[in-house]
Chain A
Amino acid sequence: GAVVSQHPSWVICKSGTSVKIECRSLDFQATTMFWYRQFPKQSLMLMATSNEGSKATYEQGVEKDKFLINHASLTLSTLTVTSAHPEDSSFYICSATDARRNSGNTIYFGEGSWLTVV
């Protein structure tokens, strides 16, 4: 099956700094990638959808200037949390689809990244 790798798996940063999370598709070209945030005991909340080479589409209520998404290649998308605050502490997880596969809808998830802002 398709493999999506996410890095780092956990990160601690100081309030006010920025942190970047990478999401890579290892054995397929990810035409579309998705970023989610999940607070403890809650569901995965879709933050944004990114297509390679174009600007990300953000969900309502998600600040695009705070959560910068770059999908510069077919195998890499990055999420940068800018000016992080303790309330940004969460589990961030990416996923990817490959529309060229027969099962074009199938979503492949990264391992997730725990962000703690102190």
Chain B
Amino acid sequence: GENVEQHPSTLSVQEGDSAVIKCTYSDSASNYFPWYKQELGKRPQLIIDIRSNVGEKKDQRIAVTLNKTAKHFSLHITETQPEDSAVYFCAAEVRFGAGTRLTVKP
């Protein structure tokens, strides 16, 4: 089955800096790669997704890149703000990575 690995598990950046979270997956049949933000005890909130027919997608300060050959994809957040602090999960189809706790220091 699909195996998704996510790094780092924790990430601390200064406000205004960029943050990058990386994921790898194992099943070459996976075609959908969403990224979620989750608050404790609440449903995951989709922040951006990418499908296998594109290599990059951007939405304001958030961008995602996908390398299907290498089976890895990354989330990039630029100009980070304290309110970006949260737990972020990548997924390949319906299987989730372990999560990254991002802290943005003012």
Interface residues of A (CB under 8 A from B): 34, 36, 40, 42-46, 49, 59-60, 91, 93, 95, 105-107, 109-112, 114
**Residues in chain A near residue B98, CB distance under 8 A:** 42-43
24 A-B residue pairs with Cβ-Cβ distance under 8 Å, sorted by A, are A34-B94, A36-B96, A44-B44, A44-B89, A44-B96, A45-B96, A46-B94, A59-B1, A60-B1, A91-B41, A93-B43, A95-B94, A105-B32, A105-B51, A105-B93, A106-B34, A106-B46, A107-B34, A107-B46, A107-B94, A109-B44, A111-B42, A112-B42, A114-B41
Complex CA gap A107/B95 in Å reads: 11
A107 to B49 alpha-carbon distance, docked (Å): 11
Chain B interface SS verdict (over half): loop
Cβ contact within 8 Å between A43 and B96: yes
Q: How many residues of B contact A (CB 8 A)?
A: 20
CB within 8 Å: A-B pair count: 43
Could you tell me the distance in whole angstroms from the C-beta of B30 to the nearest C-beta in chain A? 10
* Inter-chain contact A111/B43, CB cutoff 8 Å: yes
Interface residues of chain A: helix, strand, loop or mixed (majority): loop
B68 to chain A, nearest CB (A): 15
In the complex, what residue of chain B is closest to A93 when comparing beta carbons? B43
B43 touches A110 (CB 8 A): yes
CB distance from B24 to the nearest CB of A (A): 15
Does A43 contact B43, Cβ atoms closer than 8 Å?
no
Per the 8 Å Cβ criterion, residues 30-48 of B in contact with A are 31-32, 34, 40-44, 46
Please indicate the chain B residues that have their CB under 8 angstroms from the CB of A34 in the complex. 94
Known: A43-B97, A91-B41, A105-B49. 18 other contacts (CB 8 A): A36-B96, A42-B98, A43-B96, A43-B98, A46-B94, A46-B95, A46-B96, A59-B1, A93-B43, A95-B94, A105-B31, A105-B93, A106-B34, A107-B94, A109-B43, A109-B44, A112-B43, A114-B41
Asked if residues A106 and B49 are in contact (CB atoms below 8 Å), the reply is: yes
Q: What separation, in Å, do the CA atoms of A11 and B98 have in the docked complex?
A: 26
